[in-house]
């Protein structure tokens, strides 16, 4: 391999994710951080992972993938001068400008008005069935200090020299982002193909891209794993991590200077698979204290009886749940324990998920006393403006630490 870009390579092989016990997970949303809110340290403290590559180099890779300028001294500057990257960057800027105008700006304004107190009490955001969607989590909860994302997609690696010099990388990135930038969610079946290519081998490259596009500086990348007790452990290699619950820790600094950590774990959250792994992912999430759970475009998995463990964890450990109708079915929320605010418009699910229609939501949206509040942007599978819904469920009593 030529000396150029050699330092960008992160040792390791592709992580292989467990087979899914149900067709699809999901996720998506947008970004650009706001002023930092209260922060919290992830508990329990994790062992120090192995040293990461040069952090300036890793951030330059994130910027390169995002179509943004790299640092002055970066060896990637030679590649950004090429016509292929120049066309890719110009196209990316146009796509993101449109996305921000139709979604990010409206989401940020709405979240500041409607979620002000929620965001102050949301140091830890749990985003199950998310895939690599740091984008939406950072947009809705920009002041959180810890984000835990879980999906079926493999963890992946920081793209190395061969991928960065391969012109096919640009089409792979555009293909992976197409549904996000147009509909605001990942298509699970497409992701199963898009994130198993040579150019994009998992969730990590897109998390890095989203970090750069949400004005975060990438300050570190460490591979981690969860043991059977749900303890966070360093992964000396991707091969070692594949035997447990593989994951990655991405360390970030926001434009306001706030230090953050994004964890992504490749794991199946179905009851059968959780039984096999002793619920390691849920044990870890449970240790983080009261949560704010965010769910969107989650293929209605938690409506099903065999996703009861993750559903119960959310209901037991969440201070807030912000979700569209594809999250937890209303029948599982006990009104004595929760207060509800509905936003937007509830329509029947798209034909693929028609069997998950909830008459109780139709009734809630027709309540003339507690009328639903406006939702000025589209989200979820009914992604058009004035066709989307969100529920903010607030627990009446905060879960114990």
3-state per-residue secondary structure call for 45-77: CCCCCCCCCCHHHHHHHHHHHHCCCCCCCCCCH
Rg (CA), the chain: 20
**Residue predicted with more confidence, 56 or 32:** 56
User: What is the model's pLDDT at position 398?
Assistant: 85
**Residue predicted with more confidence, 372 or 40:** 372
**Of 376, 372, 351, 374, which is closest to residue 363 (Cα–Cα)?**
372
pLDDT, mean of residues 170-194: 64
321-348 pLDDT per residue, tens: 999 999 999 999 999 999 999 999 999 9
User: What is the model's pLDDT at position 26?
Assistant: 39
Judged by DSSP in three states, 95 sits in: helix
User: What is the model's pLDDT at position 198?
Assistant: 54
State residue 125 phi and psi, 5-degree precision: -110, 125
User: What is the model's pLDDT at position 239?
Assistant: 56
User: What is the model's pLDDT at position 195?
Assistant: 41
pLDDT, mean of residues 2-16: 36
Residue 183 banded pLDDT, cuts 50, 70, 90: low
Q: Are strands 146-151 and 259-266 parallel, antiparallel or unpaired?
A: parallel
Q: Is residue 9 predicted with pLDDT exceeding 80?
A: no
pLDDT, mean of residues 266-295: 96
**Residue predicted with more confidence, 366 or 54:** 366
198-242 pLDDT per residue, tens: 568 899 999 999 999 999 999 999 999 999 899 999 986 555 555
Q: How far is residue 127's CA from residue 292's CA, in Å, rounded to a whole number?
A: 9
User: What is the model's pLDDT at position 54?
Assistant: 57
**Residue predicted with more confidence, 51 or 247:** 247
Q: Are strands 389-395 and 318-323 parallel, antiparallel or unpaired?
A: antiparallel
On average, the pLDDT of the chain sits at 84
User: What is the model's pLDDT at position 55?
Assistant: 66
And the tokens for 318? 């969440």
User: What is the model's pLDDT at position 178?
Assistant: 76
**Of 267, 321, 144, 131, which is closest to residue 312 (Cα–Cα)?**
321
Lowest-pLDDT range of 5-14, 67-76, 358-367: 5-14
And the tokens for 233? 């452990």
Q: Is the CB of residue 181 less than 8 Å from the CB of residue 168?
A: no
% of residues, the chain, pLDDT over 90: 69
Q: Is residue 292 predicted with pLDDT exceeding 60?
A: yes
Q: Is the CB of residue 85 less than 8 Å from the CB of residue 68?
A: no
Q: How far is residue 359's CA from residue 2's CA, in Å, rounded to a whole number?
A: 62
């Amino acid at each position: 391999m030529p000396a150029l870009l050699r330092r960008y390579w992160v040792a390791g092989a592709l992580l292989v994710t467990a087979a899914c016990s149900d067709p699809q997970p999901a996720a998506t949303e947008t970004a650009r951080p706001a002023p930092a809110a209260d922060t919290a340290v992830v508990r329990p403290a994790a062992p120090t992972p192995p040293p990461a590559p040069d952090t300036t180099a890793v951030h330059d890779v994130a910027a390169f993938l995002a179509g943004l300028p790299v640092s002055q001294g970066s060896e990637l500057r030679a590649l950004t001068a090429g016509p292929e990257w120049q066309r890719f960057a110009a196209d990316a800027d146009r796509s993101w400008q449109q996305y921000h105008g139709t979604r990010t700006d409206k989401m940020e304004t709405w979240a500041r008005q409607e979620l002000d107190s929620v965001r102050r009490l949301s140091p830890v955001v749990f985003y199950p069935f998310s895939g690599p969607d740091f984008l939406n989590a950072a947009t809705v909860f920009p002041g959180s200090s810890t984000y835990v994302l879980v999906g079926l997609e493999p963890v992946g690696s920081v793209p190395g020299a061969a991928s960065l010099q391969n012109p096919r990388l640009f089409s792979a990135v555009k293909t992976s982002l197409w549904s996000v930038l147009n509909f605001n969610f990942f298509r699970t079946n497409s992701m199963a193909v898009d994130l198993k290519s040579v150019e994009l081998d998992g969730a990590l490259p897109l998390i890095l891209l989203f970090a750069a596009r949400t004005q975060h500086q990438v300050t570190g990348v460490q591979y981690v794993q969860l043991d059977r007790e749900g303890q966070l452990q360093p992964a000396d290699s991707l091969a070692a991590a594949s035997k447990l619950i593989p994951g990655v820790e991405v360390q970030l600094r926001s434009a306001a200077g706030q230090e953050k950590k994004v964890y992504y774990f490749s794991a199946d959250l179905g009851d059968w698979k959780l039984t096999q792994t002793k619920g390691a992912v849920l044990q870890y999430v449970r240790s983080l204290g009261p949560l704010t759970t965010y769910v969107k475009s989650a293929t209605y998995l938690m409506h099903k009886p065999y996703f009861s463990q993750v559903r119960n964890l959310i209901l037991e450990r969440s201070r807030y749940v912000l979700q569209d109708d594809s999250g937890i079915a209303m029948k599982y929320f006990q009104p004595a324990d929760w207060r509800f605010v509905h936003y937007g418009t509830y329509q029947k699910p798209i034909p693929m998920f028609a069997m998950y229609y909830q008459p109780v939501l139709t009734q809630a949206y027709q309540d003339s006393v507690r009328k639903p509040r406006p939702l000025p942007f589209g989200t979820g599978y009914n992604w058009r403006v004035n066709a989307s819904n969100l529920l903010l469920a607030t627990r009446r009593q905060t879960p114990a630490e």
